[in-house]
Amino acid sequence: MNLAYLLIGGNLGNRSANLQNAIHQIEKNCGKILDLSAIYETAAWGLSNQPSFYNQAVSIQTNLEPKALMEQLLAIETNMGRIRSVKLGPRLIDLDILLIDQLILDTEILILPHPSMEQRRFALLPLAEIAPNLMHPILQKTIQELLMHCSDQLDVQKL
């Protein structure tokens, strides 16, 4: 069994319904949902001329190996109608793996821990809500510590 922490988000369509649909699909296809953060609204990061995002952290218990989990999440995105056209652009749904247990992994399909999560308040804030004492396996700091030292100034509001 693996314990995985995901970040789900999107900024197109009915954002709340899309998050709920993604959660349902994750539970159906990936593993048991253990915890959910509140939903947070965030200005777009990286490519700012687009609608704001809804983001939510999710922890799951899964039998899937990391690569298989990533492939399943990509399939869920596709099934929900995600079209990849512009890097960091608008999207109906985005499913990212932030951490799996204390794994460190660098493959073509997946890098663990997520390579830029410590630079993104919109990822750290919901993750800190459900796992504040979780240790980043490379930086050796808790999620709460990473959040306190995050230089990202984008506005992140709990809904």
Question: At 144, which helix (H) or strand (E)?
Answer: helix 143-148
Q: How far, in Å, CA of 13 to CA of 148, rounded?
A: 32
CB 43 within 8 A of CB 52: yes
Which residues, at least 6 apart from 140, have a Cβ–Cβ distance to it below 8 Å?
A: none
What sign does the dihedral 109-16-46-158 (CA atoms) show? negative
For 102, residues 6+ apart whose C-beta sits below 8 A from its C-beta are 135, 137
Give catalytic residue positions: 82, 91, 94, 96
